[in-house]
């Protein structure tokens, strides 16, 4: 019974890893798109949420997105305050396989994974 844990855990780790890599790739693409406009427009944020929900197979309400919604501009001198921030939080529903067998309750077997970063804006001041 104990030996059953290992193949299941290997599969589960691989699934969680693939989810996170997909989420990272989608978020990075959307961040690059946001650089063109200087901020995350409402349609960008909803597009990001729906694409994450579709490709990660989870409902759109589980995903939290915090991003800059005010336009940021580029100047001749480097200004740290004028960067576009984004933060995407993905829940992981199961970290360890056979958790109840090992004595870990379901609530402790979940976690939230954060993808966070800052990018420069490419929009000139109008």
* b/e per residue 69-93 (b: at least 16 CB within 10 A): eeebebeeeeeeebebebebebeee
Using CA atoms, how far apart are residues 30 and 5, in angstroms rounded to an integer?
38
Contacts with another protein by CB under 8 A: the residue count is 24
Q: Which two tokens stand for residue 15?
A: 């699934």
Closest CA to 65 of 17, 16, 109, 26: 26
Task: Select from 43, 59, 80, 107 the one that contacts another protein (CB under 8 A).
Answer: 80
Q: Is 125 in the site for another protein (CB under 8 A)?
A: no
Q: Is 109 in the site for another protein (CB under 8 A)?
A: no
CB 117, min distance to another protein, A = 5
Exposed, middle or buried, 96 (CB in 10 Å: 0-12/13-18/19+)?
A: middle
Q: Is 24 in the site for another protein (CB under 8 A)?
A: yes
Task: Select from 37, 45, 74, 105 the one that contacts another protein (CB under 8 A).
Answer: 74
Q: Is 25 in the site for another protein (CB under 8 A)?
A: yes
Which residues sit at the interface with another protein, rule CB under 8 A?
2-3, 6, 9-10, 13-14, 17, 20-21, 24-25, 28, 35, 74, 76-78, 80, 117-120, 122
């Amino acid at each position: 019974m104990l030996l059953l844990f290992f193949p299941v855990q290997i599969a589960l780790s691989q699934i969680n890893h693939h989810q996170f890599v997909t989420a990272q790739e989608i978020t990075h693409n959307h961040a690059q798109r946001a650089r063109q406009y200087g901020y995350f427009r409402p349609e960008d944020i909803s597009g990001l949420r729906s694409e994450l929900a579709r490709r990660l197979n989870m409902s759109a309400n589980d995903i939290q997105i915090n991003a800059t919604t005010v336009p940021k501009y580029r100047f001749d001198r480097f200004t740290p305050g004028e960067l576009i921030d984004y933060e995407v939080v993905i829940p992981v529903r199961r970290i360890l396989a056979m958790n109840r067998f090992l004595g870990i309750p379901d609530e402790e077997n979940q976690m939230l994974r954060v993808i966070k970063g800052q990018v420069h804006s490419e929009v000139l001041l109008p």
